[in-house]
Structure 1
Amino acid sequence: MSSTLDAPLGARTPDPASGATFAAGERVPTRRRYLMCEPRFFTVEYVINPWMRPDQPVSTERAVEQWEQLRRTYERLGHTVETIEPQPGLPDMVFAANSGTVIDGRVLGSRFRAEQRAAEAEHFRRWFLEHGYRSVVMPEKINEAEGDFAWTGSLLLAGTGFRTDPGAHAEAQEVLGMPVVSLQLVDPRYYHLDVALFVLDDQSEHPLVAYYPDAFSPGSQQVLRRLFPDAVIANAEDAECLGLNGVSDGRNVVLPMEATHLAEKVAERGFEPVLVDVSELRKSGGGPKCCTMELRD
């Protein structure tokens, strides 16, 4: 397991449980393009999820440092990072994943449930239009974008229960032209799909995900078992540090630094964990994925 970006690509990583080794190089990364927003105005001044505590101190400077580390991590891994200008009065705009879903160059924007974040959607809509996207649709239903949508390479997993309306799933299928599978979230701590599940491999014939079963209803757990019988199963510790708010390029898996157990589990499957400090951003309920919208052009 690596917490830096300097580990050799062909390095073999030990399995702490068995002492066995595996070749991380067997997994092949694909170059990605991401959209991010600097947390220049980051603070916690309201409560819209169980992680937010306005009575606790927050360092905007530290949040910016952690965001910069995350951005540099992506760039060192060979990915392209685009940025959108942050806006005063929108402290959660750093969580770019909530403002758009892009597949094959088609964009489905967002419509936030919390009024405190509603204005973010228009800034992202303008960014898409200014950067050459022509198929940009703003949703009629409450839709918090990649917060509740996860693309597996063949279908779109769609969460509901706390933020995104169930009707937004049908809207996404119509706009994006991709099959959608609805999943019911039941634990308010894991209010978005992207803090309960993430996609490790979206390039192979059989996509691979990691998820925390207890975040989902019994029926949705059955659906996930059927779709992903080989999934990486996270435990409560993984979920509680927002470890499932990860980002994978098919080989390198960017995770919060506290997610050591989950890092070991994905390493056992031949992935290379890259641990980053997002502790300040987590005070608003976010992690690597929340800060990262993937531009699938």
Structure 2
Amino acid sequence: MTISEFEVAATTQRSRVPSLRRYAMTPPRHFTVEYAINPWMDTSTPVDTDAAVSQWEQLLDVYRSLGHTVDIVEPVEGLPDMVYAANGALIVGGRAVVARFAFPQRAGEADAYARWMSAHGFTPQETVHTNEGQGDLLVVGSTVLAGHGFRTDPRAHTEVAQLVGMPVVSLELVDPRFYHLDTALAVLDDATIAYYPPAFSDDARARLQELFPDAIEVATADAYVLGLNVVSDGLHVVMPAAATGFARQLADAGFEPIGVDLSELFKGGGSVKCCTLEVYR
């Protein structure tokens, strides 16, 4: 590396500034895989619920050690996927849109998260069409990136834009392994994303290249361990420990990757971001 290249890298490193965040999480005390609604779920694979709780608690500890606020949403028996809190809502700028789930097995989660939102000063608003919260609705800067193709109905994107008062960019997903946007794209700060190009349609890839020409493109090996299912505070990127190649890319870009093991929760098709509902300011 030349001196000038080193200076550029050092400047990039210094420019990454974390900000304190507020999250909501639900402990996986009732977690199991008793139905299959995505390609990662296999009802014949044993699930260790105690191990899932222990791994989830480690994630909680990481957030708190970084200074973030974490609200606990109590789990409801009979809703094994409620641990995937991100799917429950989009909350941004004091406005809250509760999920309308595609599958009846998860419908009760929307009621549970709506009750939590109401108890914490938010007025949960509903869409007519299916939306699966921050699974498919990710805030980057002043824009919402919105996935569709497997869960969220693209007609809900217009509703969400009106409810939260923000522009929404629709992105079509084409690989069922990446059934939610947050499995194929990671928001790293207000201007930086990472994504897995094969998960998107040609039009969606073109749109992402237009909006984020400096985006990090993640390799298949990292995408297939849900490596993009991360939570970032602008500097620290909490991510699946198995995505080692992506971790190196993040470090090269000046971020600080923090790997966690959520292998039990991976059996349900989710990881770090799935377990984390951010209350965007």
TM-score, reference length from structure 1? 0.90
Residues 164-211 of structure 1 deviation map (CA, whole Å, 9 limit, x = unaligned): 001010010010000000000000000000000010012xxxx00000
Quick one: distance in 1 between partners of 2:14 and 2:43?
44
Q: Does 1:182 align with 2:166?
A: no
* Preserved contact between residue 24 and residue 272 of structure 1 (Cα < 8 Å): no
Aligned to 1:14: none
Aligned to 1:48: 37
SS at match of 1:93: helix
Aligned to 1:89: 78
Residue correspondence of structure 1 range 119-158 to structure 2 within 5 A: 119-133=108-122, 135-158=123-146
Quick one: distance in 2 between partners of 1:120 and 1:136?
13
Quick one: distance in 2 between partners of 1:172 and 1:182?
11
Aligned to 2:63: 74
Structure 2: where are the runs of 5+ without partners? Answer: 1-5
Residues 196-250 of structure 1 deviation map (CA, whole Å, 9 limit, x = unaligned): 0010012xxxx00000000000011000000000001101011100000011000
* Preserved contact between residue 91 and residue 97 of structure 2 (Cα < 8 Å): yes
Q: Which moved more, 1:135-144 or 1:237-246?
A: 135-144
Aligned to 1:285: 269
Aligned to 1:110: 99
Please point out which of 246, 251, 255 is paired with 1:262. 246
Quick one: distance in 1 between partners of 2:238 and 2:176?
24
Residues 110-148 of structure 1 deviation map (CA, whole Å, 9 limit, x = unaligned): 000011000000010011111111x32022110001000
Quick one: distance in 2 between partners of 1:25 and 1:52?
41
Q: Does 1:210 align with 2:185?
A: no
Aligned to 2:225: 241
The CA deviation at 1:25 is 4.6
Structure 1: where are the runs of 5+ without partners? Answer: 1-17
Q: Does 1:62 align with 2:51?
A: yes
The CA deviation at 1:102 is 0.7
The CA deviation at 1:26 is 3.7
Q: Does 1:199 align with 2:187?
A: yes
Among all aligned residue pairs of Structure 1 and Structure 2, give the percentage whose two residues are the same amino acid: 53
Aligned partner of 2:48: which letter?
S
Aligned residue pairs, count? 274
Residues 12-42 of structure 1 deviation map (CA, whole Å, 9 limit, x = unaligned): xxxxxx9x97574541100000000000000
SS at match of 1:174: helix
SS at match of 1:87: coil
Q: Does 1:99 align with 2:94?
A: no
Q: Does 1:169 align with 2:149?
A: no
Aligned to 2:3: none
Aligned to 2:147: 159
Q: Which moved more, 1:124-133 or 1:245-254?
A: 124-133
Aligned to 2:213: 229
Quick one: distance in 1 between partners of 2:263 and 2:81?
15
Aligned to 1:10: none
The Cα RMSD (Å) is 1.3
